Amino acid sequence: MSNEIVEKKEQKLTFSEMLTNSLLEVKEGLPKDLNIQRFVNNSIALLNDNEQLSSFAKQYGTGQIKSALLKSAFLGLDAMSKEVYLIPYSNKLNFQIDYRGAKKLVKKYAIRPVKDIYAELVRQGDDFKIWSDNGGQHYEFNPLPFSDNAIIGAFAVVKYEDGSVFIDTMTVAELENTRKHSKAKNSMAWTDYRGQMYLKTVLHRICKHVEIDFENPKQREIFDNDMAINTEEEPPKVVDALADDNIVDTEYTESEVEE
């Protein structure tokens, strides 16, 4: 029996096999509608197609890639749909939920059914009004067409199925204060795509105000941690997938992927 155990431990597995085994081990904690085989297939297709992160397995180890994919699976998010990112920072890879993933989770798990959630930039010359009355919050937004005027703020809106809305606004000063406290304040994402980072910032902030009932505590833990640090870690550059060109064709022992 002992020889059989040793032989099993020494058996080399492909990354897809390791990922499948790990998912099956935590199957009871995964979303009920998660198709494990489809998730693995999408992940492997992504790992093969993206050349920008081809060195991740060598630099960080496949264990960190697998860990990030498991977090994605716990939330039922798909890297192929750009709902999550794997971001290099310092000596580790950081899992980060994209605004697409945040919107998906809010719409799926909000206690009050959500019809839509989105964010907009407000530029000089745009007509933006927000007010409250006994009927709740209201807003009007009439942007100038094709305007490249300076950005003066951003806002996010949650529209509920019952017709009510919740609105959160941030001035440029508030958005810049978020950038200033980010570890990646001078990254390409902030310098070249500042408008998109503004949208992401206000959208992530409004997500914290939506009451969500996840299927299990692990989902809540991953989501809350991401919402807390999403502007403090290295934002995605041009990477929009988890990847390693040769990862599927390489075999590993289980000890090589332990974290």
Q: Are 110 and 210 in contact (CB under 8 A)?
A: yes
pLDDT tops 80 at residue 233: no
Average pLDDT value for the chain: 81
Tell me how far CA of residue 37 lies from CA of 21, 40, 84, 146, 224, in angstroms: 11, 5, 19, 44, 27
Q: Alpha helices, DSSP H only, in the chain? A: 2-10, 15-25, 36-49, 56-60, 62-75, 99-109, 172-180, 188-192, 194-207, 217-229
pLDDT tops 80 at residue 53: no
Q: What percent of the chain has pLDDT over 90?
A: 48
pTM: 0.74
* pLDDT tens column, 116-137: 999 999 999 999 999 999 989 9
Contacts of 27 (CB under 8 A, 6+ apart): 36
The pLDDT score that the predictor gives to residue 164 is: 92
Residue with the bigger pLDDT between 7 and 92: it is: 92
3-state DSSP assignment of residue 209 = coil
pLDDT, average across residues 68-91: 86
